[in-house]
Amino acid sequence: MKKGTFKGGVHLPGYKDVTQGLEIVTAVIPDKVYIPLSQHIGAPCSPIVQVGEEVKKGQKIGEGKGFVTAPVHASVSGKVVAIETREHPGGSFVPCIVIENDRREEWEETIKPRSNPRDLSPEEIRKIVFEAGIVGMGGATFPAHVKYSPVEGKKAEVVVLNGVECEPYITSDHRVMLEKAERVVAGLQYIMKAVDCGKGVIGIEDNKPDAIEVMEKAASGIPGIEVMSLPEKYPQGSEKQLIYSCTGREVPVGGLPLAVGVVVSNVGTSVAVAEAIEEGKPLIERILTLNGDGVKSPANYLVRVGTLFSDLIEQSGGYTGEIEKIVAGGPMMGKTVYTDSVPVIKGSSGIVVYKKKEQEVSKERDCVRCAKCVDGCPQFLEPTTLVKLAKRQQWEEAEKNYALNCIECGSCEYVCPAGIPLLQYIRRAKQEITAINRAKANK
Amino acid sequence: MNNQGNLLTVTPSPHLHSSNSIPAAMRDVIIALIPAFIASVYFFRISAVLVVATCIVTAVVCEMVAQKLMKRDVTVNDYSAVITGLLLALTLPATVPLWVAAIGAAVSIIIGKQLFGGLGNNIFNPALIGRAFLLASWPVATTGWVTPIDGVSTATPLGIIKESLGSELPGLTDMFIGNISGCLGETSALALLLGALYLIYKKHIDWRIPTGYLATVFVITAVVGMTKGQGLTYPVFHLFAGGLMLGAFFMATDWVTTPVTKKGRVVFGIGCGLITVLIRLKGGYPEGVCYSILLMNTLAPLIDRYTKDRVFGGGKSHA
């Protein structure tokens, strides 16, 4: 089997032992679901149902304008009881459609298995993917149909499926590959057809040998698809690093993967694509890992979009004690939420609950120039230099030092022995630079 | 079930941090210097213990007092002052008067470190500042070399060739083990290498600096050795003589005062090597490690600027 890796990065403790061996459990379908109208990057949706209206499972209830958007669907059948602004796991407040579950689980009439999934044209596949509301399920939530659409002058040569899952604690993609390997491969074939290319690579971190084995078996005999074993190193699953590991190609600064002929999708997204095409199902449920020392029984759940974090935590036996924080996503790039009353969205790969600890807050010391952040940066930046510039508010200089190329993976801050919140300083620099550039453009 | 009604802590990512810390790294450096310390005690007996103790105690006390006076947080518990004291002691001969050693430690910490703003902000390696100060102020007291164990006055191996003294040079094996005259910590290459391997294994120092440094010294002295008809004995002698091992592994690798880029570290090592050989062969002193590192310290920011890595996906260097 082929192997590949990238330069830089850090070695993290995995914390995956607890859940990686647990089969996917169907989460209890709640009495009420809260479906945010913005679960993707791009134009938010407007509701197309009204309070009081009965909806069926899988019925489209919100859609957006423009090309870069993704519709949202009812994840249960029942009655729309409210359309209100609520907390979103991304940290903002977003309009949500609240549906009271009538427990009938009635599918919307048009949703049924397709008889001819393999005969669809690339346009038809993209249309189905769009109508199903599929977005990048690794967490980036970029609308999938946009990725699969042709760009003039650019030819897709290889589709890379991301089965890396380099965030600690999260094992949802791992379980998807073990339990839905056929679907992953089928989805990959549809994506390859949609972007009109004959080569597919499934990249998996080598801490999941069982997934590599299962996926190799599922892909054997299918021309053009191969599985690659990638060493366990963070952020192996970051798009640009993954592309380099799998193809040896570097996405140019500011460019998209298609600039080097690559289209990347997550393995979970691939399953969603296959289900949309073969079953006609829109994206209303996903696999999610609930983990961390703050929750009694960590698990991998098949969960409906719109289920509250608190519903899942209850199903997992509740909290182990007083809770410090809940991270939506993995501990390296996930966002903390201040309440557990936030819904699962299409991009929710995991929830990590941390117990309150008697820990002293580590004090920020002066940088000792150990260069661990420089060695660890997968984008080859000098995080310590960027921090210095940010402290002096030298934004132009920070831009010249490629602050905008930071992918916010957090490797620099993870390794820093001086306890410097490097990523926060760099985020600040990025915001200032973006604001300055926007002001310039508006002049 | 809104988590007992309390709001949860909200922090920016990453939410996971390594156990790396400055005190832990400094502790490892101290551990790495223990073999060299033991060797110095074996070779120079009680006087080695006294010099080391004087330097460490003075360094720690000066750090504490200086930080109090400057109204800074007292950070002696990060062990960096202990290392400065220990490193300085290892660059002094066993015969150095203790008050001279104490002044050296005080200069290291106060002038070399705290006046620049404390750990992380100093331009020069503090221990070497102390050593350079002492060498200029009390040249006799800081070069009272004696033979190991019996303590008879003698010249160092580098002194012997520098001054063409005609005394017999020690064998290479003696030089490797440390059975030669010299500073406390620079006699035993073996003890220093043990510590260095530990630091490389713990990833506290980058192999690029010592490798660039030692390789440069070796290559140039090998060429010189060939012209003298001495073959490989000459470059190997230069590797094990004087403070090269101590300097290359423990001083030229100081985080604060060396480049942060990988290429820069190679350049830094090579530069140290060039200056060391230049001073040893053409300069007024028999040994050039201390000044070579101090001189290269001044160049570290410049080296960083011109050795910036290209950005991922950016093709060429963005220097």
Question: Which of A319, A352, A414 shows the shortest C-beta gap to B18?
Answer: A414
**Domain count of the fold of chain B:** 1
Q: How many CB atoms lie within 10 A of CB B138?
A: 17
The residue-averaged pLDDT of A34-52 equals 94
A381 touches B: beta carbon within 8 Å: yes
Q: Does pLDDT of B22 surpass 80?
A: yes
B169, with CB counted inside 10 A (0-12, 13-18, 19+), is middle
A338 and A403 belong to one structural domain: no
Query: What rounded mean pLDDT belongs to chain B?
Result: 90
Q: What is the CATH classification number for the domain harbouring A220?
A: 3.40.50.11540
| pLDDT band at B3; cut points 50, 70, 90 | very low
Residue A9 lies in a domain: no
- Containing structural domain, residue B276: 22-306
Cα angle A386, A391, A395 (rounded to 5 degrees) comes to 60
Number of domains chain A is built from: 3
Average pLDDT over residues A97-119: 94
If DSSP codes are grouped into helix, strand and coil, which group holds residue A59?
Answer: coil
Q: Considering the domain boundaries, does residue A429 fall inside one?
A: yes
Best of B9, B18, B266 to disrupt the A interface (most A CBs within 10 Å) is B18
pLDDT higher than 70, residue A397: yes
Position B4 pLDDT exceeds 70: no
pLDDT of residue B155: 76
Rg (C-alpha) for chain B, rounded Å, is 21
**Same domain, yes or no: A77 and A200:** no
Q: How large is the average pLDDT for residues B67-73? A: 94
Domain assignment of residue A42, yes or no: yes
Q: Which residues contact B13 (CB under 8 A, 6 or more apart)?
A: A327, A331, A332, A333, A334, A335, A408, A410, A423
Contacts of B310 in chain A (CB under 8 A): 380
Residues A217, A346 share a domain: no
Per-residue pLDDT at A3 exceeds 70: yes
B319 pLDDT more than 50: no
Question: For B120, which of A325, A369, A402 is closest by C-beta distance?
Answer: A369
If asked whether residues A40 and A181 sit together in one domain, one would say: no
pLDDT, residue B167, reads: 66
Q: Is the pLDDT of residue B178 over 90?
A: no
Residue A95, domain member (yes or no): yes
pLDDT, mean of residues A357-371: 82
Give B133's pLDDT tier (boundaries 50, 70, 90). Answer: very high
Retrieve residue A402's tokens: 């490629």
Q: Minimum mean pLDDT among A137-146, A212-221, A356-365, B23-32: which range? A: A356-365
* Percent with pLDDT over 70 in chain B: 95
Regarding whether A286 and A259 lie in a shared domain, the answer is no
List CB contacts (< 8 A) between A333 and chain B. Answer: 13-14
Among all residues of chain A, which has the CA nearest to that of B12? A335
Q: So what's the pLDDT on residue B287?
A: 84
Mean pLDDT value of segment B205-225: 95
Instruction: Determine the Cα–Cα distance for residues A273 and A276; give it in Å rounded to an integer.
Output: 5
Report the DSSP pairing between strands A350-355 and A93-101.
Answer: unpaired
Q: Give domain status of residue B194, yes or no.
A: yes
Q: What confidence score (pLDDT) does residue B137 get?
A: 94
The DSSP symbol for B21 reads: -
Tell me the residue type at A300. N
Q: Per the domain annotation, does B11 fall within a domain?
A: no
Average pLDDT, whole number, for chain A? 94
C-alpha span between B230 and B222 (Å, rounded):
9
Pick from A88-92, A185-189, A198-202, B267-271: least confident: A88-92
- Whether A159 and A94 share a structural domain: no
Query: Where is average pLDDT lowest: A221-235, B133-147, B161-175, B223-237?
Result: B161-175
C-alpha distances in Å from residue A185, one per residue of A139, A198, A222, A264, A319: 20, 13, 9, 14, 37
Query: Residue B43: inside a domain, yes or no?
Result: yes
Instruction: Say what the pLDDT of residue B180 is.
Output: 77
Return the CATH number at B183: 1.10.3430
Asked if residue A320 has pLDDT above 60, the reply is yes
User: Closest to A250 (Cβ–Cβ): which among B25, B259, B313?
Assistant: B313
A19 lies in a domain?
Answer: no
Q: What ipTM does this complex have? A: 0.89
Where would I find the beta strands (DSSP E) of A252-310?
Answer: 262-266, 285-291, 299-304
pLDDT at B174: 79
**Alpha helix stretches (DSSP H) within A11-132:** 17-20, 122-131
Q: Are residues A140 and A243 in the same domain?
A: yes
Higher-scoring residue by pLDDT: B306, B2: B306
Q: Give the span between the Cα atoms of A129 and A272, in whole angstroms.
A: 9
Strands (E), A179-221: 200-205
Residue B99 lies in a domain: yes
- Where residue B317 falls among pLDDT bands split at 50, 70, 90? very low
Instruction: Please check whether residue B121 lies inside any domain of the structure.
Output: yes
Residues of B in Cβ contact (< 8 Å) with A327: 13, 15
B3: chain A residues, CB-CB within 8 Å: 319, 323, 326, 339-340
The domain boundary, picked from A235, A251, A278, lies at A278
Instruction: Tell whether the model's pLDDT for residue A384 goes beyond 70.
Output: yes
Nearest residue to B19 via CA among B202, B290, B219? B202
Same domain? For A147 and A266 the reply is: yes
Residue A196 shares a structural domain with residue A254: yes
Average pLDDT over residues A137-145: 91
Q: What gap in Å lies between CA A65 and CA B125, rounded to an integer?
A: 61
pLDDT exceeds cutoff 50 at B157: yes
Q: Pick from A278, A300, A320: which residue ends a domain?
A: A278
Segment B306-314 shows an average pLDDT of 90
Write the pLDDT tens digit of every residue in B41-59: 998 889 999 999 999 999 9
pLDDT of res. B171:
77
Segment B1-6 shows an average pLDDT of 54
Same domain, A230 and A304: no
At A394 the pLDDT is 97
Residue B13 in any domain: the answer is: no
Residues B240 and B176 sit within 8 Å (Cβ to Cβ): yes
Mean pLDDT value across residues B240-248: 91
**SS3 track for B148-189:** CCCCCECCCHHHHHHCCCCCCCCCHHHHHHCCCCCCCCCCCH
**Residue type at position B180:** I
The answer to whether position A148 is within a domain reads yes
What span, in angstroms and rounded, lies between the C-alpha atoms of A329 and A325? 12
Reply yes or no on whether the pLDDT at B318 is more than 60: no
DSSP A224: T
Determine whether the interchain pair B260/A374 forms a contact, defined as Cβ–Cβ distance below 8 Å: yes
Contact A371 B9 (CB under 8 A): no
Is B16 a member of any domain?
no
Q: Which residues of A touch B318 (CB under 8 A)?
A: 400-402
CA-CA-CA-CA dihedral for B232, B238, B244, B249, to nearest 10: 0
> Do A252 and A307 share a domain, yes or no?
no
Contacts of A235 in chain B (CB under 8 A): none
pLDDT at A357 over 90: no
Instruction: Of A231-240, A311-320, B164-173, give the lowest mean pLDDT range.
Output: B164-173
In a domain, A11, yes or no: no
Average pLDDT over every residue of B275-288: 89
Name the pLDDT band for B316 (thresholds 50, 70, 90): low
The CATH number given to whatever domain includes residue A310 is 3.10.20.600
Domain that holds residue A408: 372-442
Please give, rounded to a whole number of angstroms, the shortest distance from the CA of B128 to a CA of chain A.
17
Question: pLDDT for B160-175, tens place per residue?
Answer: 777 766 667 777 787 7
Kindly state whether residues A178 and A242 are assigned to the same domain.
yes
pTM: predicted TM-score of the whole model, two decimal places: 0.91
